[in-house]
Amino acid sequence: MNGKIRMGMIGGGKNAFIGAVHRIAANIDGHIELCCGALSSSPETAKESGKALFLADDRNYGSYQEMIEKESLLPADQRMHFVTIVTPNFAHFAPAMMALEHGFHVVIDKPFTFTLAEAKQLRDKVNETGLILCLTYTYSGYPMVKQARQMVRDSAFGKIRKVLVEYPQGWLSLPSEREENKQASWRTDPSKSGISGCMGDIGTHAAQLAEYISGLEITKICADLNIVVDGRSLDDDGNVLLKFNNGANGVLVASQIAAGEENALKIKVYGEKGGLEWHQEEPNTLKVKWLDAPSQTYRAGQGYLSKAAQFNARTPAGHPEGYLEAFANIYRNFALTLKSKLDGTTPTEEMLDFPGAEDGVRGMAFIENVVASGQSAQKWSDFKI
């Protein structure tokens, strides 16, 4: 196709953190342009937000329903190709379903939906329509995460035996939701966030990363969820024991009351012959450890890395690439896959490497299974989908 992929956005207007991140990430590689938006559930705020982003008046919409309906009536060479949904969890399903029903591809912020039942419906709609859905599990976009995954796929460490993943944050150590902190308010509100707080917000990231790098699937869990800050309705801390489909075991820790921590996502994966370690706050480095040889330090941007890692890096070694670039990798791979579909060509394996509807279903299943396990006196529970 000639020209850029055209994006519409739902949510992400004034004072919204993640909307701006999505726009930056979508813009980095030059494949995508924002052509329209319904940037708030408030029509007035939506219009103000669109005007601040220089959207054309006739494509600056007051509601997502208006946007999807009017965009679908435009000529094919003018209407948006896909919609990005960056609303709180409770407002994911309806616009995503409406967009798919009107023939638009979808990018959606994690977690996928409000409930597992909604997630299954949305996955089925994606399969029915043949449209592309991308889910922004950001951390799978880092080059050294790609390297880690490829080394596991190449059996560099032998059979995987253990996975340790932790995601500590400290920003909810105090009851910030009672002090007009917008990000804290909706994440601690069951009517907007869903049945889980911490595990739904960041535990899902940890679970997705564990499965993505290891190539395994969680089959059993034993969860301990906690509400540490008095007065909260949803978990702000938790610990989960894991069993995987090859017999490996693991531990997942997620907390938003770990005072002093910023965004300290870490993962370790161990096999028969060695293991690896990656820290999100030092994303250009992958530590590789061997049973019978010295440890190694792999660095982003180097020629010795896998094709997947090199495909998702933009700068020479020593030039840090971080959160925005990882986010951009997901958008770029989605955009290249969409371009291939529009052109009738076959996308490469590297282009197809972004989370999709099945990942969304597994994420929602993780939330519901963890909450059920945390409320149960049973030691181990099957991971049910």
Domain residue ranges in the chain: 5-139+328-356, 140-315+362-382
| DSSP one-letter string for 114-161 | SSHHHHHHHHHHHHHHT--EEEE-GGGGSHHHHHHHHHHHTTTT-SEE
Average pLDDT (128-153) is 98
H-helix or E-strand containing 192? helix 190-193
How confident is the prediction for the chain on average, in pLDDT?
Answer: 97
What is the separation of C-alpha 109 from the centre of its chain, rounded to a whole number of angstroms?
6
**Type and span of the H or E element at 257:** none
Question: Tokens standing for 49?
Answer: 């937000």
Quote the distance between the C-alpha of residue 177 and its chain's center: 23
Inter-helix orientation angle 357-375/204-214, to 10°: 120
How many residues appear in the chain? 385
Taking residues 306-327, what's their average pLDDT? Answer: 96
Residue 257 has pLDDT above 90, yes or no: yes
Residue range 308-312: average pLDDT?
A: 97
CATH of 140-315+362-382, one of 3.30.360.10, 3.40.640.10, 3.30.43.10, 1.20.200.10: 3.30.360.10
Average pLDDT estimate for 116-143: 98
Query: Is residue 209 within 8 Å of residue 197, measured between CB atoms?
Result: no
In whole angstroms, give the CA distance from residue 195 to residue 199.
Answer: 9
Band of pLDDT at residue 337, cut at 50, 70 and 90: very high
Q: What is the pLDDT of residues 211-245, one digit of tens each?
A: 999 999 999 999 999 999 999 999 999 999 999 99
Model confidence band, residue 205 (pLDDT cutoffs 50, 70, 90): very high
Can you point out the beta strands (E) in the chain? 5-10, 32-38, 82-85, 105-109, 133-136, 160-168, 218-226, 237-244, 249-255, 266-271, 274-279, 285-290, 296-299, 381-382
**Can you read off the two tokens belonging to residue 59?**
């494509």
**What is the predicted pLDDT for the residue at 2?**
82
- Specify whether the CB–CB gap between 9 and 28 falls below 8 A: no
* CATH 3.40.50.720 at 5-139+328-356, yes or no: yes
pLDDT tens-digit series, residues 56-92: 999 999 999 999 999 999 999 999 999 999 999 999 9
- Predicted confidence (pLDDT) per residue in 368-385, tens digit: 999 999 999 999 999 999
Q: What does pTM read for this prediction?
A: 0.96
pLDDT (tens digit, 9 = 90+) per residue, 14-68?
Answer: 888 899 999 999 999 999 999 999 999 999 999 999 999 999 999 999 999 999 9
pLDDT band at 171 (very low <50, low <70, confident <90, very high): very high
Question: What percent of the chain is modeled with pLDDT above 90?
Answer: 97
Query: pLDDT at residue 1 above 80?
Result: no
Tell me the per-residue pLDDT of 260-296, one tens digit each, with 9 for 90 and over.
999 999 999 999 999 999 999 999 999 999 999 999 9
Q: What are phi and psi of 189, to 5 degrees?
A: -105, 115
Say what the pLDDT of residue 152 is.
98
Note whether 116 and 278 are within 8 A (CB). no
Residue 103 to residue 340: CA distance in whole angstroms: 17
Dist. CA 210–CA 267, nearest whole Å:
7
- Is the distance from CB of 60 to CB of 51 less than 8 angstroms? yes
264, 169 Cβ separation under 8 angstroms: yes
CA distances in angstroms from 141 to 36, 147, 275, 327, listed in the order given: 26, 11, 20, 6
